[in-house]
Structure 1
Amino acid sequence: MAAVLTVAGMLVSGVAQADPVDPAQSLVRATFKQFNVPVSGDFKKFSGQVDFNAAKPEATKATVTVQTASFDLGDPLYNKEVAKPDWFDSAKFPDATFSVTSVKPAGKGYQATGDLTIRGIKKPLTFPVSIQSQGGKSVFSGQTKIKRLDFKVGASGEWADTSLVADEVVIGFKLVTTGK
């Protein structure tokens, strides 16, 4: 009985539970320039958990994990190439993760801070994020820029030449929670 009262008390007090990200409604995209022409690809396999309470955004915790081998540039040969050791090295580093450590109000939206890990290299990252509620689900969207060479993505051989593939990569996302 005490356990039931404790759980009920937590629910009434508004303590948030981590909510899974729904990949079918969500998107994680990387856009870069190759020979100065924008190229975009989507990560087709990813998962995440978000613990967000609008009354306490600073207590937000979230993790999104993408399977690097699922990066889809629209051509099977390109997809196979970016999974190789020169790029994501998906066999050795199958996942890239972003873990949110805090969210703070900023202007009309929020500022998210956390750690991005690609190829086993962890770097801090801060970027603007929009948070909306739609039918009992939360929608988190935004974009940020990273430097691929900071994570040793395409850092060897001819690909290290940033006139071929730019160092700057824009990561865009729309993450929709399941509302459960």
Structure 2
Amino acid sequence: MNYSFAKALTGLAFSVCSMSALAAPIDVTQSEVKATFKQFNVPVSGNFKKFTGDVQYDPAKPADTKATLGVDTASYDLGDPEYNKEVAGKDWFDSKNHPKATFVITGVTGSGNNLQATGDLTIRGIKKPLKFPVKVQTAGGKHTFTGKTQIKRLEYKVGADGEWGDTSLVADEVVIDFKLVMPAK
């Protein structure tokens, strides 16, 4: 049950941080989204295995960036099938009723390789604004976006009921790390 909560948090984190949009699809074979939470003050991490998204990005006009990302909430992988099943369940992601978590970029500021992305993260039907730093590297005909941010799982009702609502068992904070790769045009 503890790992299940961790899986749910990781999924939430992944959903929040992922950045992609409308022009070029994300290369999911080279991309990853990881969510890390603390259970009994011990870090627990998992990756989302299924996601899609598109990014419209021009290095000369980063403010015009548009992106969308959809994450399959049932694909959160903590390394154990039973934990994965529990995290996809009603108490955590409720993947049956909320199969996708989404992130849509609403604005980008900054220049060069250091940007700030602003957007809306929706998990379990609850939409919240999110802002986080993004590093951009262009090489080999690809743009790679990396970043890290933190969300609060209880704001999205992830593990909010019963014993998991106790933040001394599973912390409210979830750290989302992402690397999204797309072709440079």
TM range (shorter): 0.7 to 0.9
Correspondences of 1:33-72 after superposition (within 5 Å)? 33-72=38-77
Shift of 1:101: 1.3
Q: Deviations over 1:7-43 (max 9, x none)?
A: xxxxxxxxxx711001100000100001110000000
Q: Using CA pairs below 8 Å that are at least 6 residues apart, which structure has the higher relative contact order?
A: 2
Structure 1 segment 2-151 matched on structure 2, within 5 A: 18-105=23-110, 109-151=114-156
Distance 1:179 1:54 in 2: 10
For structure 1, which runs of at least 5 residues remain unmatched after alignment? 1-16
Shift of 1:55: 1.2
Q: TM-score, normalised by structure 2?
A: 0.86
Residue 143 of structure 2 aligns with an amino acid whose one-letter code is S
- CA pair 66-26 structure 1, distance change in 2 beyond 3 A: same
Deviation at 1:178, TM superposition (A): 3.6
Equivalent residue of 1:163, what SS? coil
Rg comparison, structure with higher value: 1
Alpha-carbon contact 1:57-1:102 (below 8 Å) kept: no
User: How far apart are residue 179 of structure 1 and its match?
Assistant: 4.2
Letter in 2 for 1:174: K
TM-score, scaled to structure 1 = 0.88
Seq. identity, % = 67
Residue 137 of structure 1 and its aligned partner are, at CA, apart by 1.0
Look up the SS of the partner of 2:84 in the other structure.
helix
Superposed CA RMSD? 1.4
Moved over 4 A (4+): none
Kept in 1, the 8 Å contact 2:113–2:136? The answer is no
Task: Compute the displacement of 1:132 (Å).
Answer: 1.1
Secondary structure at the aligned position of 2:107 is classed as strand
How far has the Cα of 1:136 moved from its partner?
1.2
Name the CA distance, whole Å, in 2 between partners of 1:90 and 1:166. Answer: 21
